[in-house]
Structure 1
Amino acid sequence: MSAITERMAGRSSARRQAWRRGFYRFRQSWLSIAGLVIVLALFVVAIAAPVIVPYPEQVSGAIDTGARFQPPSLAHLFGTNELGQDVLTLTLAGARISLVAGVAVVLLGAAVGTLAGAVAGYVGGWVDEIIMRLSDLKLTLPGLILAMAVAAALGAGLLNTIIAIALTWWPGYARLVRGEVIAKKEEMFVQAARALGAGTGRILRRHVIPNIISPIIVKMSLDMGFAILTVASLGFIGIGVKPPTPEWGSLLSTARGYMPDFWWMAIFPGLAIFLAVFGFNLLGDGLRDVLDPKARR
């Protein structure tokens, strides 16, 4: 009994030491810290946007034609657009839509892909073949083109945009999880659970998926920026979130008709998209050092 206790204590100590090393690497990378700061700032802005925007009535579509096309100034730090709306207000309010859509796309795609990949990897056989061939079929089509087709069929709107993009997002997670499950299902702890009579669902839920969650989290953090960029792309071509709802892609789409004379209408929403993608990529690299077992030394 004491030997078992000592082994368990040793494993717990090894895990704690691995986490300490991972967080030490994260803290040593100023780029990872910068990514964390950017991401936290974006979420703070998205949550506090209704309170901190200078002209809250313009978020719901109010206009001020007397203030059209004003350049950046103390009254309008980011200038105004063709309707006299404050670009700073619209950019800050657009952070909420873009982040909500990005998070929802990644969560939905990860959930569907993890379930499909776990079942394919654990069950194998014809089930694996069907799921993986569906995944391969999707991967033969460019993700943005497929998302555009689905979004056009469903119609404009935030929910339809999320569904359209999520339907193109799951195969990457399915392939990742399938490979991890195939490796884990032969481990002793899985065989022991199977010998004790645990069903497939319980084994996957309680034993396999918790042990492969790290690479899934890393992929989710890296995918967030690209999900936000895809949401903005659909808004830019007019089949995503529609005005008057402020969204970075639709703001850029409107601003392109007034370039280069009224450059501020496009530069600030564009910078917001750049910061979001850049911040999540930096954070994802840092989390990979912490969570990816292959990166631990």
Structure 2
Amino acid sequence: MTGDRAGLSFREDYFDDPGGWAAVKALLLTVFDIDVSPLDRMGGRDRTLMSSAWFDGGGRCVANLSAFAMPLVIDGRPVHAAGLQSGAVLPEYRGRGLFRDLVRRILQRCDERGFEAIVLYTDKPGLYARHGFVTVPEHRFVGPAPAPVDAAPTCRTLDMADERDLSLLRGLLEERAPVSQRFSVSRNTQTFLLNTALVEDVTLSLLPAFPAVVAWRHERESGVFTLLDVVGTRIPTLAAILQALGLQPRSVEIMFPPDLMEWEGESIAEGQELCFMLRGRPGLAPAGPVRLSPMAEF
């Protein structure tokens, strides 16, 4: 044990230990001011999670990095992929090589499990470029709304404090169809559920006819309708979504590739603080403008 790691212990896959889970939640709250405790009432952590961390003698998690199964669709092909998340180091433990060690360990574990691709969000892309990650620019898609349909709304708003609505949404997430064949997740239950608590000003509406749940916003003053995600065994078109919601917006922005929406919009590059990066074999990165839904961000 080097001097930089004196008094620390390395642990893996400790989330079934209540003390370990509490320590990671405390680390994320301290470093990022992100509270992941809503997961506790939404079914708990993702059961595919692999975690590596350094703990101090008092049981504090001082450095952590996790990976989880995140199956993707890229240009119409299912891809066995993983996401990296919860990478954090307490300020007083930075500069000791702890995080570099965790990146090496987690990437090795992902490779041993045969993941074709690994994705992440970061504000330090240089840290990951040395490990073979490349930046995938993200875009949103903007254009006029489709012609309105003269029909009564057929939706209802979900309440995530209602166990019945939570169960309904969880069931749809487990059976969801990809929202895009160009680039999307094909399963992200726990990430989506957590984002219902973290993403600001999102409304969740059930469209019973499909059935599908739509995550959306509508700025009434500007008349802009924003579609963040659609969860269902089949994906309704944009016109069907607007009809079910009873909305006639001036314009639309869609936060994922709209190839299944029967609608086309101009792709606009996002100016984001976080870079989306992908590590995989040459040619695996998606062609053309893409982005993950905000409800799939992690």
Q: TM range, normalised to the smaller chain? A: under 0.3
Which one has the bigger helix percentage? 1
What's the TM-score once normalised by structure 1's chain length?
0.22
Q: Larger relative CO (CA 8 A, sep 6+): 1 or 2?
A: 1
Which one has the bigger strand percentage? 2
User: Which protein is bigger by CA-based radius of gyration?
Assistant: 1
What's the TM-score once normalised by structure 2's chain length?
0.22
